[in-house]
């Protein structure tokens, strides 16, 4: 009952906050672009929370079990990726005064390239965001709603409805303000959980972080084994391209940045939260090491799934009611912050890119409801199959779908060539299929399994296919 009360109070606070921030005279310009009046520092702070999903809140602490703190190598690459987005992509988006970033493809490569890019975004974002939110829903169902006899489909409908209510009018303008609040809640919860875990270890915070520093699982860098997925150069370079593609070429992540007053503010926003992303993830990883220490102290076995490390303590009540409350708040803040921006971006892209009716407010309202319903359907389908491997497959598919976007934008930015865009949809579909085939062959015959670097290969194949279709001068 206490968790339900927390959820309701959290929603009421979000709704009031959004109503005050947005006002009553919200238009499509407000929903799609926030009237281009967002303070850059608020966007930057909120983007930290938006970049951390509910899955991140649960999964990153558990990463230390199998790969220590090597995830920070990828985070270091993120910094350079954010700088590249700030000074290469943002100037183009602002110069063209874009509402959706895929409009660039229309002017540069043609109508079919434009629709292909938008289509890949809609597919990957809908399934990926729904998969992330599904994990949060099943956790709440298992720990709260099953005991109350509430069926899963009502849990899903209720959670998605809460997001729809506070985003339906203000859209992206609402999110700039609510994400700030949710980021505060998330890191406050994280800090309080760390404080409580340190107390259970009979340590002060300074002693706890010193113990983490000296722990064998605090290893960050891996230079010796190139085959390893934790190799520094593989993770660092992949981190750069992950940000370029999954932030710079993703309407969901870029929409908030495009609400800043001008290009300079947007660049300050991008660089600020890009640097802040490293210490944010470091805190999650430190918590993971501390939880492993606590596991050893309490004589408990580590969970079979690394994702269960934090929930094993927090959601089960082993650390007491305060940690359960903080965990719920943090999980809600992280999951709502990513799901609400995904829902808004999907609505924006469908209205602007697919329907090409950016001023039709009636259409926007209908599409927003439709996307919320599609969100619910996707989550319920995951429940029907009830397979973790399916979720993993969805994430893999999403990583594949960003490769063609990388190739499309890279070709447009690097070359001056025009293409016969009639072939673009076929190239965009063929590229992930070729990558899948290559990964299968190398895994079976060479024992080498592609990691994050598959994204770069996917983009390269798409780029090569587009080059073969260039028009003769």
Residue-level pLDDT at 370: 92
Neighbours of 386 (CB within 10 A): 8
Nearest to 226 by CA among 469, 412, 448: 448
Asked if residue 234 belongs to a domain, the reply is: yes
- At residue 262, φ and ψ (nearest 5 deg) are -155, 175
Residue-level pLDDT at 80: 92
How many domains does the chain fold into? 1
Asked if residue 436 belongs to a domain, the reply is: no
Q: Is the dihedral of CA 196, 197, 203, 205 positive or negative?
A: negative
* Predicted model pTM: 0.81
For residues 260 and 269, the answer to whether their CB atoms sit within 8 Å is yes
DSSP string, 329-370: HHHHHHHHHHHHHHHHHHHHHIIIIIS--TT-HHHHHHHHHH
CA distances from 376 to 370, 382, 395, 415, 425 (A): 10, 10, 18, 41, 28
Asked if residue 106 belongs to a domain, the reply is: yes
Asked if residue 439 belongs to a domain, the reply is: no
Cα–Cα dist 346/367, whole Å: 9
DSSP string, 363-394: HHHHHHHHHHHHHHHHHHHHHHHT-HHHHHHH
Cα–Cα dist 49/338, whole Å: 8
Residue-level pLDDT at 427: 92
Nearest to 43 by CA among 104, 97, 105, 86: 86
- At residue 418, φ and ψ (nearest 5 deg) are -95, 155
Q: What is the pLDDT along the chain (473 residues), one digit of tens a residue?
A: 667 777 777 777 777 766 766 656 666 776 777 667 778 888 888 777 767 666 677 778 888 888 888 888 888 998 999 999 999 999 998 888 888 888 899 888 888 999 999 998 888 888 878 877 887 787 777 777 777 788 888 988 988 888 888 777 666 777 777 777 777 877 887 888 888 888 888 888 888 888 888 888 888 787 776 666 677 787 888 888 888 887 888 888 888 888 888 889 889 888 888 888 888 888 888 988 888 888 888 878 777 777 677 777 776 667 777 777 777 777 777 677 778 888 888 888 888 888 888 888 888 889 989 999 998 998 888 887 765 544 455 556 666 778 888 899 889 888 888 888 888 999 999 998 998 888 888 888 877 777 667 778 888 999 999 988 876 64
CATH number at residue 258: 1.20.1730.10
Asked if residue 23 belongs to a domain, the reply is: yes
CA distances from 392 to 50, 65, 132, 182, 386 (A): 21, 19, 11, 27, 12
Name 442's Cβ contacts closer than 8 Å, sequence gap at least 6: 448, 449, 450
Question: Which structural domain range is residue 6 located in?
Answer: 2-386
Burial label for 298, CB within 10 Å (0-12, 13-18, 19+), is exposed
Asked if residue 448 belongs to a domain, the reply is: no
Asked if residue 473 belongs to a domain, the reply is: no
Residues counted in the chain: 473
Asked if residue 394 belongs to a domain, the reply is: no
Q: Is the dihedral of CA 13, 380, 430, 460 positive or negative?
A: positive
């Amino acid at each position: 009952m206490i968790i339900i009360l927390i959820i309701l109070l959290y929603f009421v606070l979000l709704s009031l906050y959004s109503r005050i921030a947005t006002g009553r005279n919200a238009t499509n310009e407000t929903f799609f672009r926030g009237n281009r009046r967002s303070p850059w520092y608020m966007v930057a702070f909120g983007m930290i929370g938006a970049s951390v999903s509910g899955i991140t809140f649960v999964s990153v602490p558990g990463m230390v079990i199998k790969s220590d703190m090597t995830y920070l190598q990828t985070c270091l690459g993120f910094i350079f990726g954010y700088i590249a987005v700030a000074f290469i992509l943002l100037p183009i988006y602002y110069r063209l005064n874009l509402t959706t970033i895929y409009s660039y493809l229309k002017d540069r490569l043609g109508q079919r390239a434009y629709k292909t890019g938008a289509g890949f975004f809609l597919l990957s974002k809908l399934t990926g965001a729904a998969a992330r939110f599904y994990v949060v829903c099943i956790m709440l169902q298992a720990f709260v709603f099953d005991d109350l006899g509430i069926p899963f489909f009502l849990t899903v409908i209720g959670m998605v409805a809460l997001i729809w209510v506070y985003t339906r009018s203000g859209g992206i303008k609402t999110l700039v303000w609510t994400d700030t609040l949710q980021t505060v809640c998330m890191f406050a919860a994280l800090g309080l959980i760390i404080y409580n875990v340190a107390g259970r270890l009979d340590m002060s915070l300074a002693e706890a972080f010193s113990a983490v520093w000296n722990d064998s699982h605090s290893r960050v860098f891996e230079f010796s084994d190139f085959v390893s997925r934790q190799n520094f150069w593989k993770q660092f370079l992949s981190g750069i391209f992950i940000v370029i593609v999954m932030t710079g070429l993703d309407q969901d992540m870029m929409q908030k940045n495009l609400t800043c007053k001008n290009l300079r503010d947007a660049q300050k926003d991008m660089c600020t939260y890009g640097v802040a992303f490293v210490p944010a993830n470091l805190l999650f990883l430190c918590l993971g090491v501390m939880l492993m220490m606590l596991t050893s102290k309490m004589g408990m076995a580590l969970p079979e799934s690394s994702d269960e490390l934090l929930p094993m303590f927090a959601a089960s009540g082993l650390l007491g009611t305060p940690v359960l409350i903080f965990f719920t708040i943090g999980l809600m803040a992280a999951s709502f912050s990513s799901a609400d921006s995904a829902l808004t971006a999907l609505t924006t892209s469908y209205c602007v890119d697919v329907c090409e009716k950016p001023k039709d407010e009636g259409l926007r309202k209908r599409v927003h409801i439709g996307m919320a319903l599609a969100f619910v359907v996707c989550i319920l389908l995951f429940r029907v199959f009830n397979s973790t491997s399916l979720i993993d497959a969805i994430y893999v598919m999403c990583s594949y779908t960003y490769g063609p976007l990388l190739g499309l934008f890279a070709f447009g930015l690097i070359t001056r060539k025009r293409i016969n865009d009639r072939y673009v949809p076929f190239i965009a579909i063929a590229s992930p299929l070729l990558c899948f085939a290559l990964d299968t062959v190398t895994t079976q015959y060479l024992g080498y399994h592609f990691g994050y670097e598959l994204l770069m290969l996917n983009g390269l194949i798409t780029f090569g296919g587009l080059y073969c279709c260039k028009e003769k001068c």
